[in-house]
Structure 1
Amino acid sequence: PEIRWGPAMSTVGTRGGRQRRFLAALAGALLATIPAAGNGGAAETPVNDYPTVARADYIFGCMAANGQTRTALEKCSCSIDVIASVLPYKAYEEAETIMSVRQRGGQNASMFISMPLLREKVARLKRAQIEGELRCF
């Protein structure tokens, strides 16, 4: 089923309209990542295994850094699509966790900075992010 944003759902001139339009645009971008039904009612194989919430989290962070505009939404959505095509979700999640622990600091963080295997996981994510920037921005 296709979701349509018609005049009945317009928020122009209403309080909070800008936020609603932003959320509607974000929802549309996220819904575009859900695989469509294939022949025989079976869902097509997803291009990647990233959950919607992970995509949304990335897009929100990306837009915070690049502006709350429709153009930023499109570029950030494109970027996570590229990352997802290059890096499996499990690897993405591991690298994000490592980076989160590093930011906290302290004794435990030094292990996450010094271990070559963990550094390589983060480097793979950063390469995927660069690929996303090159293709989308």
Structure 2
Amino acid sequence: MRPCHLLLPAVLALVSPSWAAPPAAHAGDYPTSGRVEYVLECMQKHDGKYEYLYKCSCVIDRIANALSYDDYVAMSVALRNQGLPGERGGVFRDAAAVKDMASRYKTIETGANKACAVPQQP
């Protein structure tokens, strides 16, 4: 027979409540701060109108369904920095992989904007 102290970890694993385990990450899990930053920036582009709170939230939700958070960050940074002048911007303008990432993100964001009735801003 095994001593009780050797069985304790196995028993605890079986009876421990599900709330004690860390939640599993789901596709589309973005930190709240990331979602808020996107919505605030989107609203600012549309003169801060309150109606865009819901529309911009819709857009980031659709982006979150299409991309992991890490991909979203990488792709949105690639797109945002396409116009960065000088040598530093060359990393974003010249590399084919970075151009592809920016293009893919722009396509996803454009589709989300259309679906959520957010007009494109220049």
Match of 2:41 among 48, 61, 64: 61
Equivalent AA in structure 1 for residue 79 of structure 2: M
Shift of 1:90: 1.2
Q: Distance in 1 between matches of 2:53 and 2:102?
A: 24
Equivalent AA in structure 1 for residue 70 of structure 2: K
Q: Distance in 2 between matches of 1:47 and 1:88?
A: 6
Q: Which residue of 2 aligns with 1:111?
A: 91
Aligned residues: 99
Q: Distance in 2 between matches of 1:106 and 1:47?
A: 37
Q: Distance in 2 between matches of 1:69 and 1:106?
A: 35
2:27–2:68 contact (8 Å) kept in structure 1:
no
1:50–1:89 contact (8 Å) kept in structure 2:
yes
The equivalences for 1:44-123 within 5 A come to 46-123=26-103
Q: What percentage of residue pairs aligned between the two structures are identical?
A: 27
Shift of 1:134: 1.6
Q: Deviation per CA, 1:24-63: give whole Å up to 9, x if none.
A: xxxxxxxxxxxxxxxx547575441211111111101100
Secondary structure at the aligned position of 1:102 is classed as coil
Superposition TM-score, scaled by structure 2 size: 0.69
Secondary structure at the aligned position of 1:104 is classed as coil
Shift of 1:71: 1.4
* Cα pair distance change 1:70/1:100, threshold 3 Å: closer
2:28–2:66 contact (8 Å) kept in structure 1:
no
- Larger Rg over CA atoms: 2
Shift of 1:101: 3.7
Unaligned runs of 5+ in 2: 1-17, 118-122
Higher relative contact order (CA 8 A, sep 6+): 2
